[in-house]
Amino acid sequence: MKLGVCYYPEHWSRNDWGDDARSMRELGLSLVRIGEFAWSRIEPFPGQFDWEWLDQALAHLHQEGLQVIMGTPTATPPKWLVDRHPDILPVDEFGHPRRFGSRRHYCFSSQTYRAETKRIVEAIARRYGEHPAIVMWQTDNEFGHHGSDESFSEDAIAAFRKWLEQRYQTIEALNAAWGTVFWSQEYNAFEEVDPPAHCVTEPHPAHRLDWRRFCSDQMCGYNQLQVDIIRRLSPGREVTHNFIGDFYRLDHRNISRSLDVATWDSYPIGLLSESNASDEGKARWLRSGDPDFAAFNHDVFRACAPKWGVMEQQPGPVNWATYNPAPAPGMVRLWTWEAFAHGAEFVSYFRWRQLPFAQEQMHAGLLSADRKAQNAVPEIQRFCDERKRVPAIEASRPDVAILIDYSSLWHHEIQPHGNLDGPLSPARALYSACRRKGWNIDFIFPDSDMSGYKLILVPSVRIIAESTAEKLLSSGAVLLAFALSGSRTESAQTAFGSQRSVLAAAAGVQIDEFESLPPFSDVNLSYDGNTFPIGPWREQLVASGGVHARFSDGAPAWVKQDNVNYVGCLPDRALLSVILDEVADEAGITRFDVGDDFRIRRAGDVHFAFNYGSRPIDLSAVLTDMTSIEWIIGEETIPPFDISVWRKL
């Protein structure tokens, strides 16, 4: 795994470039990402390109043997371009243009912007396509960030209508698929359909679901436009995009089809602060981030493309969260090792030097603005020394997989039917529960190969096509599906055919009624002599047999038939844990209870153990088999915010 850094030569005096490049190399970095916001310096006036500075900056990096990831600058169209073509601006749902003065101020559907994108990407790729320092291209920067996935411009509306026409062919088919007869929402022509915005009350869910699909597809199409140019003009170089962690508005699997490498931007502390975690969790991991945040996203993006990496790694306090604490000493090294253990191609820190001006001047860098090494630097040095002792990661298929589907996440956002904590929360809760058992996990998508797993988990994936259900059911794995899984059709209608859920049907269950419940509800679940709270959703299951646990009012809660388990609620942590124990035993999977702060990841014989907490952890108290091992890093007691690595002999 290589290390890299995000660098903005245009922010600094050219007298610094040589020293910066040398210091990067000396620190052990070998990759540098540049260029992604530099349009106003590359083309200061319409059609007038200034390559000289970028040639020089690249020459300095190349001279030090650093490899470059070149970003296309399309996330920041310059002022002259916006003034010439105001139609490139994104439009909010109230019809107001979102203006120049920050970034991401363009509409993915703007025909003008697509032409301008083609022009600038061609110019850069023609200039540097064969440059010996450039090994990879990054398209744009964080598609969809700052709410930029949606635009309600004239071009977007026209494109949405065209997209609908391609999907449904006739307006009658759209009316039937959506169910527009409700509230007299029927259309006579595609030209009548507007985006689902600014309605008096809740817009139609099928309309919203197709809007989400359309917005995601527009980002994919826009990315493809850039990828095609880069592939033509820069043969042999890889192409990536840097995705946002915990972001679900873009179908990452779909967009990654055109990429060689899926990368993402990892800000564990910043995103914990902004998440819906409890105050207790926020306090506990204030300086380390949620122990599953980075791993969850590593595993999601690992599943998206043949290779993956971390394009931006938090190095210190960020500037954009409600509060911005510094990472505990050791965390930058720990996060780097977690990425390594998951098989990342590279980790690149954001950013090289802290800026003394503009929006991000309060965001840490590896160096201060006046080039003093910050806390992350000795941790990176230590990683570089330690890395020599650890063998390369061997990829192998784990026992456990979790299904993800973007349309289902969007449906969850559109019709939560209760306070369900956000679309990713069922998958995230399950993922954390699995990590607390000490397991490696794969994410799978409906089109993934599902063979070879012992246990497949379906965390309230609402839309499950028949072909996906068949793959799941014939995978040979033990299946465990939670409430709402398979409960909706592609068009957001209730799946009546198979007893309201294709997976419930496979477990021999009929779902009669459902309800969402507040945390203070009186319904519990009894299992094995214990009573558990059930979370915010419960279904009334009717089953002729196979009842494994019941709700407190006696109705079936967990039903099992052959290898299919269906649980009619969204269990909280304690209940999830006992359910997982039982299905793991059934599937023949070894399980541990590693607790809250400790996480483990296996790669062949090599075991990586992480302590995200502020107290030491004694490994032999948690893992059963600590005999016949060879220590590679650390030892049996892992200090706070530290790691141990060993090989099983």
Please choose, from the candidates 37, 414, 38, the residue with its C-alpha nearest in 3D space to the C-alpha of residue 215. 414
CB of 6 to ligand GAL, least distance (A): 7
Question: Of 43, 64, 116, 142, which one is the catalytic site residue?
Answer: 142
Written in H, E and C, the secondary structure of 243-285 is EECCCCCCCHHHHHCCCCEEEEEECHHHHHHHCCCCHHHHHHC
Question: Of 312, 379, 539, 582, which one is the catalytic site residue?
Answer: 312
CB of 103 to ligand GAL, least distance (A): 8
Q: Terminus-to-terminus CA distance in the chain, angstroms?
A: 24
**Residue with the two structure tokens 């070879």:** 452
**Positive/negative CA dihedral, 160, 161, 166, 170:** positive
Say whether residue 267 binds ligand GAL (CB under 6 A): yes
Which residues ranging from 497 to 526 are in contact with ligand GAL (CB under 6 A)? none
Complex with ligand GAL: residue 248 or 350, whichever CB lies closer: 350
Residues 6+ away with beta carbon under 8 Å from 109 = 151, 153, 155, 156, 158, 159, 160, 218
Token readout for 116 is 């301008």
CB of 145 to ligand GAL, least distance (A): 6
Say whether residue 149 binds ligand GAL (CB under 6 A): no
312 is a catalytic site residue: yes
CB of 363 to ligand GAL, least distance (A): 5
Q: Which residue in 43, 155, 290, 312 binds ligand GAL (CB under 6 A)? A: 312
Say whether residue 363 binds ligand GAL (CB under 6 A): yes
Complex with ligand GAL: residue 8 or 551, whichever CB lies closer: 8
Q: Which residue in 318, 409, 559, 569 binds ligand GAL (CB under 6 A)? A: 318
Q: Which residue in 76, 109, 141, 563 binds ligand GAL (CB under 6 A)? A: 141
- Per-residue x/- track, 221-260, ligand GAL (CB under 6 A): ----------------------------------------
Complex with ligand GAL: residue 7 or 646, whichever CB lies closer: 7
**Residue with the two structure tokens 């220590």:** 631
Which residues ranging from 340 to 359 are in contact with ligand GAL (CB under 6 A)? 350
Please choose, from the candidates 263, 174, 156, the residue with its C-alpha nearest in 3D space to the C-alpha of residue 218. 156
Complex with ligand GAL: residue 222 or 598, whichever CB lies closer: 222
Rounded Cα distance, 75 and 104, in Å? 5
Query: Roughly what angle, to the nearest 10 degrees, separates helices 205-233 and 154-168?
Result: 100
Say whether residue 24 binds ligand GAL (CB under 6 A): no
Among 120-128, 140-148, 382-390, 543-551, the segment contacting ligand GAL (CB under 6 A): 140-148
Contact 502, 464 (CB under 8 A): yes
Cα angle for residues 590, 535, 586 (degrees, 5° grid)? 25
Complex with ligand GAL: residue 208 or 351, whichever CB lies closer: 351
# residues contacting ligand GAL (CB under 6 A): 10
In sequence order, which ranges of 76-204 are alpha helices (DSSP H)? 79-84, 111-128, 154-168, 171-178
142 is a catalytic site residue: yes
Q: Which helix (H) or strand (E) holds 648?
A: strand 643-648
Contact 366, 349 (CB under 8 A): yes
CB of 320 to ligand GAL, least distance (A): 6
What single-letter DSSP state applies at residue 221?
H
Complex with ligand GAL: residue 245 or 486, whichever CB lies closer: 245
Among 137-145, 283-291, 484-492, 568-576, the segment contacting ligand GAL (CB under 6 A): 137-145
Give the three-class secondary structure for 598: strand
Among 139-147, 250-258, 507-515, 554-562, the segment contacting ligand GAL (CB under 6 A): 139-147
Complex with ligand GAL: residue 350 or 610, whichever CB lies closer: 350
Complex with ligand GAL: residue 72 or 440, whichever CB lies closer: 72
Say whether residue 262 binds ligand GAL (CB under 6 A): no
Cα angle for residues 639, 645, 649 (degrees, 5° grid)? 135
Q: Which residue in 20, 43, 217, 265 binds ligand GAL (CB under 6 A)? A: 265
Complex with ligand GAL: residue 267 or 641, whichever CB lies closer: 267
- Give the C-alpha distances (Å, rounded to integers) separating 11 from 7, 53, 54, 374: 9, 12, 12, 19
Token readout for 621 is 């108290």
Exposed, middle or buried, 439 (CB in 10 Å: 0-12/13-18/19+)?
buried
Q: Which residues bind ligand GAL (CB under 6 A)?
A: 141-142, 145, 265, 267, 312, 318, 350, 360, 363
Active site residues: 142, 312
